[in-house]
C-alpha cells in the first residue's frame, strides 16, 4: 500500500533485472518516486508478499504471477522486462543440445538422477517439469529456496544438472566448470522470464505507474545499449559480483525491453494450459486477467526491443 509517497518494490537477486540499475541511480528519485526495495528469494515469495499487502510492485516471472492470480491475489502484469531467462546447465561430462540434436536426448542423460531448480512454481521449475513430462522420462526435480543453494548442490555433486537464470550459468561455470547444455531460446522460446507486476490497488495512482515504467524502460535500454556502464553500476551496487560477471550474464540472453510484445504475451499464455496440467492452477486464465497493457502502451510507443538485432 502506498504510504507517505513511498512505493514498496519487491525484487530478486537476478543481476540483469532493471531493479539494480534503478537502485544504483537517482532516476526514480528524480521522477518523484521514493522506493523502498526488498529482496526476495523467488517469484513465489514475491506473490506471498503481494498476498500479504507487503509490496506494490514486483519483479517476477509470469508463471508465479499466474499462480497467484488463480489463487485470488489481486495482481496484474503491466510491463515486460526480459525474455528467455532459463537455461539448463550441467557438468562438462554431459552432452549438449547441439551435440545430441533434441531436448529429449539431452534429458535422457539424467534418468535416475536429479535436476536442481529454484522453488516450486517458479518459471524455471515449470519449464523443466514441462520438458520432462513431454519427454516421457522419470527424472527427479529438486527445488531449492534460493538459487545459491542450487549452485552449491551442483558444485557438491548433489545434483547432476540445474535449471535457472543466465546468472546461475555464469556462476556455475566459474565455481565448478559447468556449462550450458540447453540454451535459453531452446527451452521455451520467448518465455517471460520477468515482467513488472503490480498490486491492482496501485492503479488508483496511474501517474506513479507511468513514471515507474518510464524509468524501467530507460533502464532496459541502458542495459541493452550500454551494457558495460550498466554492468559497472550493478557490480558496484552489489559488491559481490564483478563487472565481467554481469556482462557475461547479459550476453547469455540479451533480450531486454519493457514492452508487452505479442511474443511476450503469447508465450505467457502458452504457460496457462501447462500450469493447469501440472496442477499449479485450477483453471485456464484469460489474457485480460493476467495483463493490463494500457500503461506500457502509453509509455513504450516504439516497436519492442527484445530482438537485439533491432
Q: What is the DSSP letter of 15?
A: T
Class assignment of domain 87-187? alpha beta
**How many C-beta neighbours within 10 Å does residue 195 have?**
26
Question: Cβ distance 116 to 152 under 8 Å?
Answer: no
Identical topology for domains 6-83+191-299 and 87-187: yes
Assess whether pLDDT exceeds 80 at residue 308.
no
Q: pLDDT averaged over the chain?
A: 95
Average pLDDT over every residue of 252-278: 96
**Phi then psi dihedrals of residue 195, to 5 deg:** -140, 180
Residue 146 banded pLDDT, cuts 50, 70, 90: confident
Residue 147's pLDDT band (cuts 50, 70, 90): confident
* Angstrom distance (rounded) from CA 110 to CA 107: 6
Q: Residue 4 has what pLDDT?
A: 53
So what's the pLDDT on residue 249? 95
Quick: pLDDT tens for 273-297.
Answer: 999 999 999 999 999 999 999 999 9
Domain boundaries along the sequence of the chain: 6-83+191-299, 87-187
pLDDT in tens, 24-64: 999 999 999 999 999 999 999 999 999 999 999 999 999 99
Taking the C-alpha atoms of residue 53 and residue 49, their distance in angstroms, rounded to an integer, is 6
Superfamily of domain covering 6-83+191-299: Periplasmic binding protein-like II (3.40.190.10)
Average pLDDT value for residue range 7-15 = 95
Using a pLDDT cut of 70, give the percent of the chain over it: 97
The model's confidence at residue 148, banded by pLDDT at 50, 70 and 90, is confident
What average pLDDT score do residues 85-103 get?
Answer: 96
Q: Cell digits for 113?
A: 538422477
pLDDT at residue 309 in the model: 59
Strand partners, 9: 37, 57
Identify any residues that bridge with 193 across adjacent strands, giving them in sequence order.
none
Give me the half-sphere count of Cα atoms (radius 13 Å) on the Cβ side of residue 305: 18
Say how far apart CA 154 and CA 116 lie, in whole Å. Answer: 8
Residues contacting residue 52 through CB under 8 Å, at least 6 positions apart = none
**Residue 26 Ramachandran class (φ > 0 left, ψ -120 to 50 alpha, else beta):** alpha
pLDDT given at position 2: 56
Nearest to 237 by CA among 8, 18, 80: 18
Model-wide pTM > 0.85: yes
Amino acid at each position: 500500500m502506498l504510504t507517505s509517497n513511498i512505493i514498496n518494490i519487491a525484487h530478486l537477486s537476478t543481476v540483469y533485472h532493471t531493479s539494480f540499475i534503478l537502485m544504483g541511480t537517482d532516476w526514480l528519485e528524480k521522477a518523484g518516486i521514493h522506493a523502498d526495495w526488498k529482496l526476495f528469494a523467488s517469484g513465489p515469495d514475491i506473490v506471498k508478499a503481494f498476498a500479504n499487502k507487503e509490496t506494490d510492485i514486483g519483479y517476477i516471472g509470469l508463471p508465479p504471477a499466474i499462480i497467484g492470480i488463480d489463487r485470488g491475489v489481486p495482481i496484474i502484469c503491466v510491463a515486460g522486462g526480459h525474455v528467455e531467462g532459463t537455461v539448463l546447465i550441467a557438468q562438462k561430462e554431459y552432452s549438449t543440445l547441439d551435440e545430441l540434436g533434441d531436448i529429449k536426448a539431452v534429458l535422457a542423460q539424467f534418468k535416475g538422477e536429479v535436476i536442481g531448480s529454484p522453488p516450486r512454481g517458479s518459471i524455471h521449475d515449470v519449464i523443466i517439469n514441462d520438458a520432462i513430462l513431454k519427454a516421457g522420462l522419470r527424472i527427479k526435480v529438486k527445488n531449492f529456496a534460493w538459487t545459491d543453494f542450487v549452485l552449491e548442490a551442483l558444485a557438491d555433486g548433489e545434483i547432476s544438472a540445474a535449471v535457472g537464470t543466465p546468472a546461475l550459468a555464469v556462476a556455475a561455470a566459474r565455481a565448478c566448470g559447468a556449462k550450458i547444455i540447453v540454451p535459453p531460446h531452446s527451452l521455451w522460446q520467448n518465455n517471460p522470464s520477468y515482467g513488472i507486476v503490480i498490486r491492482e490497488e496501485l492503479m488508483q495512482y496511474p501517474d506513479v505507474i507511468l513514471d515507474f515504467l518510464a524509468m524501467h524502460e530507460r533502464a532496459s535500454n541502458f542495459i541493452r545499449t550500454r551494457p558495460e556502464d550498466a554492468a559497472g553500476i550493478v557490480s558496484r551496487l552489489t559488491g559481490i559480483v564483478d563487472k565481467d560477471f554481469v556482462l557475461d550474464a547479459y550476453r547469455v540472453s540479451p533480450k531486454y525491453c519493457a514492452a508487452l510484445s505479442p511474443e511476450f504475451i503469447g508465450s505467457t499464455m502458452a504457460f496457462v494450459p501447462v500450469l493447469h496440467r501440472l496442477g499449479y492452477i485450477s483453471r485456464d486464465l484469460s489474457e485480460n486477467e493476467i495483463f493490463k497493457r494500457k500503461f506500457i502502451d502509453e509509455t513504450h510507443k516504439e516497436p519492442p526491443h527484445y530482438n537485439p538485432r533491432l
